[in-house]
C-alpha cells in the first residue's frame, strides 16, 4: 500500500542535505527567487500544503486564510515572535522552532562583543590601519578588563547559561542574573546570584540582554535602566532589537552614562545609514549574525526540517512551541 507523502513548501534556501531529507519524507516545492518572498508571494505558494519551512516573515491570520490544509509552520530560528500564536492555535496549526542548537555559537559571539567593546578592538584595528599609531601612545589606547568583572545576564535561558559558563570558567567573572524564574542549575553550576533588575543594572560591569521579544519585554531596557548602569558599564544586546529603546541607548551613549555597547540586533533591520549608533566608536555593530556559522545554520535548518516532518507524521518534536501544544 502506497502512502501519499505530505506536501510542503520551503520558503527559504536550505542546504542540499536538508532538502534531500525533506524529499525523502515529503513532496515539496521551494522558493527559487534571489530575494526573500513577500507575504503575497508566500500566500500563493501555500494554498495546498500541509507544512511550511521558513525563517522570519509574519505568520498571521491573513496569511493563514490562504492555507486551509496547513498543519505546521517550522522556523529555522529560536525566536518565533513573527508567529501569530492566537491565529495558529485557532486553526490547529502547530509551530516549531530550533532551541539549543545555536547556544554555543551565539554565546561565542556575545563573548566576542564583550571583548571587542572593552578592549576597543575594532577601534584599535582602525587606528593601526590608518597609520595613527605612534611611539609613546599610552593611555589614549587603554580599554577595560573583562576578567574577574561582574556580568549581569537578563534572561538566563539556555544561551544565557552558556554565556555564564564561558564567563565564569574562562574569565573568572562574577555572575548575576535576572529571570522570570529562579535558575537553580545556574546558581549551583556558576555560583550565580539571582537579583532584582535594579540590583543587576547597578552592580554589573557587563550587561547582556537575552530575553525573547514579547509584549512584556518590548523596550525592556530604556531611559530608566540606562540611568541605573555604571558609567563604566558595557551593554550587550543579542536578543531582539525591539527589547531596547534605541533612542534611549543613543542618549545614554551621548551623555556618557555607559562606557559602550555591542549590538547584534536593532529596532529596524537592516540599519539605516543615518542611524546615530553608527557614529559612536565605542559601539560595536554586527548584522544580526548571532548564529551565522556554516555548521550551526546547517544544524538549525535540519532541526527545523525534522520538526516539520515529525508533526506531519503525528509526532511531538522537541522544538514544538509550548503555546501551540494540545
Q: Which residues are catalytic?
A: 240, 269, 288
Contact 261, 207 (CB under 8 A): no
Can you read off the three cell numbers belonging to residue 269? 533591520
Neighbouring-strand partners of residue 28: 8
Can you read off the three cell numbers belonging to residue 219? 523596550
Can you read off the three cell numbers belonging to residue 250? 543613543
Amino acid at each position: 500500500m502506497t502512502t501519499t507523502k505530505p506536501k510542503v513548501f520551503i520558503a527559504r534556501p536550505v542546504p542540499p542535505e536538508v532538502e534531500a531529507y525533506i524529499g525523502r519524507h515529503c513532496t515539496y516545492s521551494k522558493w527559487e527567487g534571489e530575494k526573500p518572498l513577500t507575504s503575497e508571494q508566500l500566500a500563493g505558494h501555500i494554498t495546498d500544503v500541509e507544512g511550511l519551512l521558513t525563517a522570519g516573515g509574519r505568520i498571521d491570520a491573513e496569511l493563514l486564510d490562504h492555507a486551509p490544509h496547513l498543519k505546521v509552520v517550522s522556523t529555522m530560528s529560536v525566536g518565533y515572535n513573527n508567529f501569530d500564536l492566537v491565529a495558529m492555535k485557532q486553526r490547529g496549526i502547530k509551530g516549531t522552532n530550533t532551541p539549543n542548537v545555536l547556544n554555543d555559537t551565539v554565546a561565542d559571539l556575545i563573548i566576542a562583543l564583550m571583548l571587542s567593546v572593552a578592549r576597543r578592538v575594532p577601534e584599535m584595528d582602525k587606528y593601526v590601519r590608518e597609520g595613527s599609531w605612534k611611539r609613546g601612545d599610552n593611555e589614549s589606547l587603554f580599554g577595560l578588563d573583562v576578567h574577574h568583572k561582574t556580568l549581569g545576564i537578563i534572561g538566563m535561558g539556555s544561551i544565557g547559561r552558556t554565556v555564564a559558563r564561558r564567563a565564569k570558567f574562562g574569565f573568572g567573572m562574577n555572575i548575576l542574573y535576572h529571570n522570570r524564574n529562579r535558575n537553580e542549575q545556574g546558581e549551583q553550576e556558576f555560583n550565580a546570584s539571582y537579583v532584582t533588575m535594579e540590583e543587576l543594572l547597578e552592580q554589573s560591569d557587563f550587561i547582556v540582554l537575552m530575553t525573547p521579544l514579547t509584549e512584556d519585554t518590548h523596550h525592556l531596557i530604556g531611559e530608566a535602566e540606562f540611568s541605573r548602569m555604571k558609567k563604566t558599564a558595557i551593554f550587550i544586546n543579542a536578543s531582539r532589537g525591539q527589547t531596547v529603546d534605541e533612542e534611549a541607548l543613543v542618549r545614554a551613549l551621548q551623555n556618557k552614562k555607559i562606557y559602550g555597547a555591542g549590538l547584534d540586533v536593532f529596532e529596524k533591520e537592516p540599519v539605516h545609514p543615518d542611524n546615530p549608533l553608527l557614529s559612536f566608536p565605542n559601539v560595536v555593530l554586527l548584522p544580526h549574525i548571532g548564529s551565522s556559522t556554516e555548521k550551526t545554520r546547517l544544524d538549525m535548518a535540519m532541526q527545523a526540517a525534522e520538526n516539520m516532518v515529525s508533526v506531519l507524521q503525528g509526532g511531538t518534536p522537541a522544538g514544538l512551541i509550548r503555546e501551540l501544544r494540545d
